[in-house]
Amino acid sequence: MAAKPAQAQDGGQIRPSFARNMSTSASIIAGTNAHRFCVAPMLDVSDRHFRYFARQLTRGARLYTEMITTGALLHGPRERLLAFDDAEHPVALQLGGSEPDDLSRAARLGEAAGYDEINLNCGCPSPRVQRGAFGACLMREPALVADCVRAMRDAVSVPVTVKHRIGVDRVESYEFVRDFVGTVSEAGCEVFVVHARNAWLDGLSPRENRTVPPLRRDVVAQLACDFPSLTFVTNGGLRTHEESLAQLARVHGVMIGREACENPWMLAEVDPLYFDRAAPCAARDEAIVAMRPYLRRQVEAGEPPRAIVRHMLGLFNGLPGARMWRRTLSDPVALDRHGADVLDYARAALSRAAARRDERDEQTARSP
């Protein structure tokens, strides 16, 4: 059933008092929402090895693939592109494209491969994506996005969701994103992952587009108010659990990207904080132990060790020996020499570095 926006009292402008007007039902709904905590699709980051590592730290978070274009999936090495481990569930396949027929075929392949959700990218601002006429520029064509969603929903039984921005270029009208959501929801999309920034398609790099356009989380919260039957996940600039948990009083879920990559141990706090259950790993060393068999299987299958351990570089960030851990796992000689045992080698190097630091501190303390 198509979602209809709640009647606005101010011509569609964001109401400053929306936070006071929202009931606690949003946070209650979020308690059982499948999208309560999500890890973002990130190009060159959220591959199957990253997702497997993330799953050792959290069982509840919803994981997303890197964006895969319909052209690559329909005409490229689809088995390799769609490969994932059963341990990754729940995991969503993000597609990039703008042709309804191609998207329906790609979605069908994703469902057959076992993915739990198909997500359409309407938020990526990169020039390469723009040349393909998809990503964030699709927000200018909500009717086309609706056709794409409808085609995918007709092809698969798993949920079809959309990830998008709150605007394109310098268009900051709330009506723009409200009408986009309204049109796309009429095609049956019920979950919207919203990066709370505009996509500036000219003059900014993809990296700058993650930081330069102002964050406007109130827009996402207003969408949740105006479309109470839909699910909204806020994304963009979230770095701490304190920030994320605060958002759950306003929207149904949060999505974290770069912080999960740079500081992966923060994922070990997700299950206790968001899903009221124990973390699968209580200590970083437990995460290393959990990754050993996977690393060995992958190396024996011909995968270079670096493809797996690069996602673990930030595991000890902020702790003594973290630099040695990163340096060892990035060292081509160590990777080549130790192969599937490189995690144990790096852990021993970290311990030695931490011990030397403790010894220096002790000597300094004894010095007159």
Range of the domain at 187: 18-274
pTM comes to: 0.89
pLDDT of res. 8: 39
Check whether residue 233 and residue 314 sit in a common domain.
Answer: no
Position 279 in a domain = no
Query: Helix, strand, or coil here: 157?
Result: coil
Distance between CA atoms of residues 267 and 355, nearest Å:
27
Position 306 in a domain = yes
Check whether residue 104 and residue 242 sit in a common domain.
Answer: yes
Extract long-range pairs of 84-89: CB within 8 Å, 24+ residues apart.
Answer: 84/48, 84/51, 84/113, 84/114, 84/115, 85/48, 85/51, 85/52, 85/55, 85/294, 86/114, 87/52, 87/55, 88/48, 88/51, 88/52, 88/55, 88/63, 89/114, 89/116
Tally of structural domains, the chain: 2
Check whether residue 78 and residue 188 sit in a common domain.
Answer: yes
Check whether residue 131 and residue 252 sit in a common domain.
Answer: yes
Position 6 in a domain = no
Check whether residue 196 and residue 295 sit in a common domain.
Answer: no
Ranges of the chain with pLDDT below 70: 1-32, 126-133, 368
Token output for 31: 């308690």
Contacts of 207 (CB under 8 A, 6+ apart): none
Check whether residue 267 and residue 322 sit in a common domain.
Answer: no
Check whether residue 289 and residue 213 sit in a common domain.
Answer: no
Out of 217, 241, 274, pick the residue that ends a domain.
274
pLDDT of res. 21: 35
Q: What is the domain-level CATH number for residue 296?
A: 1.20.120.1460
Q: Which residues pair with 37 in a beta bridge?
A: 254
Check whether residue 318 and residue 241 sit in a common domain.
Answer: no
Out of 274, 306, 326, pick the residue that ends a domain.
274
Q: What is the domain-level CATH number for residue 220?
A: 3.20.20.70
pLDDT of res. 17: 31
Q: Which residues are catalytic?
A: 124
pLDDT of res. 214: 84
Check whether residue 153 and residue 291 sit in a common domain.
Answer: no
Position 8 in a domain = no
Position 265 in a domain = yes
Q: Which 8-state DSSP code applies to residue 212?
A: S
Query: Helix, strand, or coil here: 191?
Result: strand
pLDDT of res. 129: 60
Position 46 in a domain = yes
Position 11 in a domain = no
Check whether residue 233 and residue 315 sit in a common domain.
Answer: no
Check whether residue 242 and residue 301 sit in a common domain.
Answer: no
Out of 274, 297, 316, pick the residue that ends a domain.
274
Whether 361 and 326 have beta carbons less than 8 Å apart is answered as no
Check whether residue 321 and residue 242 sit in a common domain.
Answer: no
